[in-house]
A and B are shown apart, each in its own frame.
Chain A
Amino acid sequence: MLWKKGITAFLVAALGVGSAAAAEILVGSDIPLTGSLARVGTSTHEGIQTAVEVFNQTNGKHTIKLITVDNESSPAKAIAGVEKMASQGVVAFTGGYGTNVVSPAAEAADKLGLPYVTTGVFSDSITEKGLKTYFRVINSDGYRKAILGLIESLDAKSVSIVYSAREATSGLAKDLQQSLQGTGYRVTMHEFDPAATDFKPIINKIKLNDRSELLVISGYENDYLNIIRAARVLKPPVKAIIGAWGIATAPMAKNHGEILNHTFGTSMVSYPPEFKTDEGKVFAQNFDKIFHKEPDYLAMFGYVQSMILFEAIARVLDQGALEPAKIVAELAKTDRETLIGRVKFNEKNDNQYFTQYMGQHQNGKIVIVWPQEKATAPMIYPGVPW
């Protein structure tokens, strides 16, 4: 049996399995740091690392040790990552990004009975599975509410929605269509293939047929830029352009501020970032200390999902023995204001209070313009990038 022990010991060493110090609570992060989801995964992970730093500084009694596995944006490696970290003794996961990666990883965590908290999934499909240990802090409904709230605050009655055929973008576009039509707006829909780069035909239709007052785009970075470039050429008679996620971000303001000037988009933070709450200031200071740059909204999401998990772990520890089932129960009780608003989970472990804010590009900066109580500057309306 000695040789079996020897082989196992070798593999244990190769796997990097080691015993942590008694005071440290191991938490896993199964996240894409390479592959197609690398950019979003890396930003989220920076927020997670900041949460570890802040929690360990402020809690005083308990220390979190983060173990990270890069799942390379691959479902099989995401499962392997969850199982690897479970064998290393993690008590919970602060999760990854992308439905295709999170879905199998969350199922693997659920089978192991370990909590899995994420801000990286828009699709409701995982929530609908009814996994007991899966918690989602953000959802597409929060984006719908924000865009709808902004539109209702504008003086307009007709909307053209241009949307990518991908699941998250088309789902958001259709939800918006339903909500807007229900409140008396005239809505026209224009779907495009995710690989499309020439949007002049669609913009021409909006200019000549739709003649809508608002242009809503549900897509990703390159889609926004290509659509707005086409609109700058054809100049449709819209009063405002409103994007969904990924348009009102620091990289977009830095690199494409002029093209995007006056466009709206979901954003949790202005650029340059301004944090008014104490927690926000602590987050920004620590983020700057670790990464020497300004945080974006994905980092804020990563921070919030991790912080509520760490706090749940701390509450369980304060009560007695640390058991995953107790962490799940404590997470379900979460109800507090965070950097991204109130977090309280419903019976499906979905955050029922998540609502995005709306920002506007204004001369190379991003200001928050909706909701009114979070606004950092008045909105410019009507306002288009040309």
Chain B
Amino acid sequence: MKVMLLRWAVVVLLAYFFVPWLFGANAYLMSLIVASLVIGGVALAWALLGNLGGMISFGHSAFFGVGAYVSALLAINADFPIWLAMVCGGIGALLVSVLMLPTLRLKGPYFAIAILAYAQIFRIIATEWRSLTNGVAGLSSIPSLPAVLWWESGSKISSYLIVVTLVFAFILVYRWVANSHYGLALRAMHESEDATRVVGVNSTLLKAAMLLLSACMTGMIGAFNAHYINFLEPDYAFGGVWIVIPIVAAIFGGYRTIWGPLVGAVVVYLVDQLLFKNIFPSGHQIILGIILVVMILFSPGGLLPLLTVRTRKRTC
């Protein structure tokens, strides 16, 4: 317990003091860190559904887009405070995920494809419902994120502090669910869903809860991104990038661990943008692809389990 508290203290110290102090003056680096945390947030939500719910989703861009649009529209049209609009963005994505509950009857690739189809449906709705969403023209001048402490609204540091707080909140929720008796039941379901049903576990309810929770988390990150970028259009908000990159990041970092997806997202994004892009300005993504293949072949559990094993070996 003490070790865990110590680890958290170090992480919080690094995230809330060290990063703003060291990099705060460099807007470029801060914007890369914020973008990596946005991907990390989606990767965490995706991994929660996969790791605890046992469902592989290709449709998280639907939750991201809905959260973004709900928050942006409430802020623009109803003058909602940004904090409240972002929470509503999460709730909007959660409500949308209710429509996806029938897909829980499906398993494996069928679930993945069905949820992908939902993502396309919501993209088309956002495109065609012009009176509300302004169609393909999208929404511009979306109100910026609020000020945090003495950092002004929309500044890099205030945006960073908001997204890092969101991501840490997600980790705490994820951890709480994983360590609760719900988490135990979910893990048992992975071994044998029929057996857990026999002992009275409502597996459908638990899977539904994971889907709703994952959708809400993704929606809030989508809402954050809308207020950070200040622009939305259907192809961007519901784009495949919001599922492909987070999946790559989660698998790279270790999607069976809680911190893995976040670490994967930050490492993948920053290394790609700061290192590979400088070496290969175009086509640098190919290096990431190769590293991902190597990682899957030699450490299928991802980066974090690999580092943990190495650290333990050194300690021994």
Task: Give A residues with C-beta under 8 Å from B.
Answer: 4, 7-8, 11, 14-16, 33-34, 68, 70, 74-77, 79-80, 83-84, 86-87, 99-100, 103-104, 107, 111, 123, 125-126, 129, 165-167, 171, 194
The interface residues of chain B lying within 8 Å CB-to-CB of A74 are 241
Interface centre among A16, A84, A126 (most CB of B within 10 A): A84
In the complex, whether B200 has a CB less than 8 A from a CB of chain A is: no
Query: B32 touching A129 by the CB < 8 A rule?
Result: no
* Contact (A75, B141) CB under 8 Å given A14-B274, A80-B28: no
Instruction: Tell me the B220-238 residues at the A interface (CB within 8 Å).
Output: 225, 229-231, 233, 235-236
Which of B94-102, B131-139, B166-174, B249-257 lines the interface with chain A?
B131-139
**Which of B127, B136, B235, B282 is within 8 Å of A70, CB to CB?**
B282
Give the complex CA separation of A7 and B281 in angstroms. 23
Instruction: Tell me the B22-42 residues at the A interface (CB within 8 Å).
Output: 22-23, 26-29, 31-32, 35, 38
In the complex, whether B108 has a CB less than 8 A from a CB of chain A is: no
Query: A167 touching B140 by the CB < 8 A rule?
Result: no
Query: B137 touching A123 by the CB < 8 A rule?
Result: yes
Query: A16 touching B230 by the CB < 8 A rule?
Result: no
Instruction: Tell me the B145-162 residues at the A interface (CB within 8 Å).
Output: 154
Query: A76 touching B229 by the CB < 8 A rule?
Result: yes
Give the complex CA separation of A8 and B21 in angstroms. 11
Query: A76 touching B27 by the CB < 8 A rule?
Result: no
Give the complex CA separation of A16 and B127 in angstroms. 40
**Interface on chain A toward B: helix, strand, loop, or mixed SS?**
helix
In the complex, whether B278 has a CB less than 8 A from a CB of chain A is: yes
Query: A75 touching B22 by the CB < 8 A rule?
Result: no
Query: A104 touching B229 by the CB < 8 A rule?
Result: yes
Query: A100 touching B233 by the CB < 8 A rule?
Result: yes
The interface residues of chain B lying within 8 Å CB-to-CB of A84 are 28
Query: A75 touching B140 by the CB < 8 A rule?
Result: no
> Which B residue sits closest to A76, measured CB to CB?
B35
Interchain pairs with CB closer than 8 A, number: 83
A163–chain B nearest beta-carbon distance, Å:
12
Give the complex CA separation of A107 and B230 in angstroms. 9
Give the complex CA separation of A244 and B283 in angstroms. 32
Give the complex CA separation of A61 and B286 in angstroms. 42
Give the complex CA separation of A83 and B225 in angstroms. 17
Give the complex CA separation of A367 and B268 in angstroms. 50
Give the complex CA separation of A171 and B38 in angstroms. 33
**Which of B31, B127, B140 is within 8 Å of A126, CB to CB?**
B140
The interface residues of chain B lying within 8 Å CB-to-CB of A68 are 281
Query: A104 touching B231 by the CB < 8 A rule?
Result: yes
25 sample A-B contacts, Cβ–Cβ < 8 Å, listed by A number: A7-B22, A11-B26, A11-B29, A14-B275, A15-B26, A16-B278, A34-B282, A75-B236, A76-B31, A76-B229, A77-B273, A79-B31, A80-B32, A80-B35, A86-B28, A99-B233, A100-B138, A100-B233, A100-B235, A107-B230, A125-B137, A129-B140, A165-B127, A165-B135, A165-B136
Interface centre among A15, A74, A79, A166 (most CB of B within 10 A): A79
B82–chain A nearest beta-carbon distance, Å:
17
Give the complex CA separation of A11 and B26 in angstroms. 10
* Contact (A34, B283) CB under 8 Å given A8-B22, A15-B29: yes
The interface residues of chain A lying within 8 Å CB-to-CB of B281 are 33, 68, 70
> Which A residue sits closest to B39, measured CB to CB?
A76
**Which of B230, B241, B274 is within 8 Å of A104, CB to CB?**
B230
The interface residues of chain A lying within 8 Å CB-to-CB of B22 are 4, 7-8
Query: A79 touching B278 by the CB < 8 A rule?
Result: no
9 smallest A-B Cβ distances: which pairs?
A84-B28, A167-B137, A83-B28, A83-B27, A80-B31, A76-B35, A103-B231, A167-B136, A125-B140
Give the complex CA separation of A11 and B274 in angstroms. 9
The interface residues of chain A lying within 8 Å CB-to-CB of B35 are 76-77, 80
Query: A100 touching B236 by the CB < 8 A rule?
Result: yes
A74-B241, A76-B38, A76-B225 known; 12 new pairs, CB 8 Å cut-off, are A11-B29, A15-B26, A15-B278, A16-B278, A33-B281, A75-B236, A76-B31, A80-B28, A99-B137, A104-B230, A165-B135, A167-B137
The interface residues of chain A lying within 8 Å CB-to-CB of B135 are 165, 167
